[in-house]
């Protein structure tokens, strides 16, 4: 079955983006923090803990009283939720038969009393299939910061994905302020690439440095002479590029020999495979090193404004992070 189109959006709950699991009613068998980890979870047949079978997800004990279990997640950024995936991967005889989701907008503070939070149901109580990705479209387009997953009555969920649009109030950002226009937490998104055989293009825009070689964008070995691989990034806001970082952290025998960065102004629904797009060179083709942070400032040829950039790598390989600092143009 094809995944819904909303899965192409940003997972607002992802741990690597900055999501946090704050509390739950019970996680006796498997820790609530697993819910927002990458992937779908793994299964190790003979792995047990002193509480029972080890499971890569959130699993509560068998409920012997009235009620049901729940878990609260703080989204990495405020956003509009388009859909959720309540994934019961590897939970077969122990999955919850039903789940619902509530959401709330809570101004961030040190001490939030979630008992008094005004929760709104965005997914009514719905059936869950065991060992499956359970996709549900969300029609509510309000801006939220937290979600509350309810499972009925108990059991295990491997992963909770909350797909949507990052919301950033750009009216509060001064035109003189330097911001990372390529940060996923600001709303940047990798929209297209020619190859991501080993790891996903969206990793380029994640916070922090890559944790390992899998936490970046890596293409397969290309045998075509003079090959270039490329990825197109929609900037968080139309802006002028002042400083660039291309980080090849952890890429040692497989870093690109060089890179070139271009920019353009385009609508969000532009066909980027078209040859009619006028790309301007931001950073001329520049040599790269293994496992290294490369900063470029004086080398920048065109600052924009741009809405999209294209990172080209020669001939192939892996880049951990891309940062494009600049000023927004309103």
Dihedral sign, Cα of residue 78, residue 80, residue 85, residue 86? positive
Shortest CA distance to 17 belongs to which of 177, 220, 161, 227? 161
Average pLDDT over residues 48-72: 93
* Dist CA 159 CA 36 (whole Å): 6
- Measured CA to CA, the distance from residue 205 to residue 316 in angstroms comes to 19
> Are the CB atoms for 248 and 288 separated by under 8 Å?
yes
Q: What three-state secondary structure class fits 193?
A: strand
CA distance 230 to 39: 24
Q: What's the whole-model pTM score? A: 0.91
**Three-class secondary structure of residue 227 per DSSP:** coil
Q: Mean pLDDT across the stretch 304-330?
A: 97
Residues 196-207 have a mean pLDDT of 96
Task: Give the chain's domains with CATH numbers.
Answer: 5-166 (2.60.120.260), 171-328 (2.60.120.260)
Confidence band, pLDDT 50/70/90 cuts, at residue 1? low
Say which range, 37-46, 160-169, 248-257, 289-298, has the weakest mean pLDDT.
Answer: 37-46
Spell out a b/e string for 251-273, using b for 16 or more CB atoms within 10 Å of the CB, else e.
beebbbeebbbbbbebeeebebe
Instruction: For Cα atoms 22, 28, 33, give the angle at the middle one, nearest 5 degrees.
Output: 35
Reference 316, options 217, 246, 213, 247; nearest CA is 217
Tell me the percentage of the chain whose pLDDT exceeds 90. 89
Output the six-digit token pair for 131: 């060992």
Among candidate residues 40, 21, 33, the one with its CA nearest the CA of residue 146 = 21
Residue 35: phi, psi to the nearest 5?
Answer: -55, -35
- The CA–CA distances, whole Å, from 111 to 32, 108, 242 equal 20, 9, 38
How far is the C-alpha of 201 from the C-alpha of 87, rounded, in Å?
23
Angle at CA of residue 85, ends 70 and 213, nearest 5°: 105
Question: What percent of the chain lies above the pLDDT cut of 70?
Answer: 99
- DSSP structure string for 54-122: --SSEEPPPP-SSS-EEEEEEEEEEEEEEEEEEE-TT-SSS--SEEEEEEE-----S---TTS---EEE
pLDDT surpassing 80 at residue 110 = no
Element (H, E) at 253: none
How far from chain centre, in Å, is Cα 16? 7
| Confidence at 50, pLDDT banded by 50, 70, 90 | confident
**Nearest partner of 27 among 10, 48, 52, 47, judged by Cα:** 52
pLDDT of 205 = 98
Residue 210: the pLDDT is 95
Strands 159-166 and 10-11: antiparallel
| E strand or H helix that includes residue 186 | none
Rounded to the nearest 5°, which phi and psi values hold at 86?
A: -100, 95
- In this structure, what token pair is assigned to residue 8? 């192409």
Q: Look-up: residue for tokens 């070139």?
A: 260
**Is residue 111 over pLDDT 90?**
no
């Amino acid at each position: 079955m094809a995944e819904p189109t909303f899965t192409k959006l940003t997972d607002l709950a992802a741990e690597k983006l900055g999501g946090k699991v704050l509390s739950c009613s019970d996680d006796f068998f498997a820790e609530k923090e697993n819910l927002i980890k990458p992937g779908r979870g793994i299964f190790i047949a003979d792995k047990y803990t002193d509480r029972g079978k080890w499971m890569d997800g959130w699993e509560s004990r068998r409920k012997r009283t009235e009620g049901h279990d729940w878990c609260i997640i703080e989204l990495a950024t405020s956003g509009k939720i388009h859909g959720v995936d309540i994934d019961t991967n590897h939970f077969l005889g122990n999955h919850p038969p039903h789940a619902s989701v509530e959401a709330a907008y809570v101004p961030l503070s040190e001490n939030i009393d979630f008992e008094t939070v005004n929760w709104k149901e965005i997914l009514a109580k719905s059936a869950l299939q065991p060992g499956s990705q359970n996709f549900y479209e969300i029609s509510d387009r309000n801006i939220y910061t937290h979600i509350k997953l309810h499972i009925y009555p108990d059991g295990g969920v491997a992963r909770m994905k909350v797909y949507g649009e990052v919301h950033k109030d750009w009216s509060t950002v001064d035109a003189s302020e330097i911001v990372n226009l390529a940060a996923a937490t600001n709303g940047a998104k990798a929209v297209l690439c020619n190859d991501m055989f080993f790891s996903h293009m969206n990793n380029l825009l994640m916070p922090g440095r890559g944790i390992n070689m899998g936490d970046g964008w890596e293409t397969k070995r290309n045998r075509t002479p003079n090959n270039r691989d490329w990825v197109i990034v929609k900037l968080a806001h139309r802006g002028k590029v002042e400083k660039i970082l291309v980080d090849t952290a952890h890429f040692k025998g497989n870093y690109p020999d060089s890179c070139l960065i271009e920019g353009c102004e385009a609508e969000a629904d532009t066909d980027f495979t078209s040859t009619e797009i006028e790309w301007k060179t931001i950073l001329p083709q520049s040599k790269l090193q293994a496992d290294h942070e490369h900063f470029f400032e004086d080398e920048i040829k065109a600052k924009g404004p741009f809405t999209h950039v294209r990172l080209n790598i020669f001939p192939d390989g892996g880049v951990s992070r891309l940062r494009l600092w600049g000023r927004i143009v309103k």
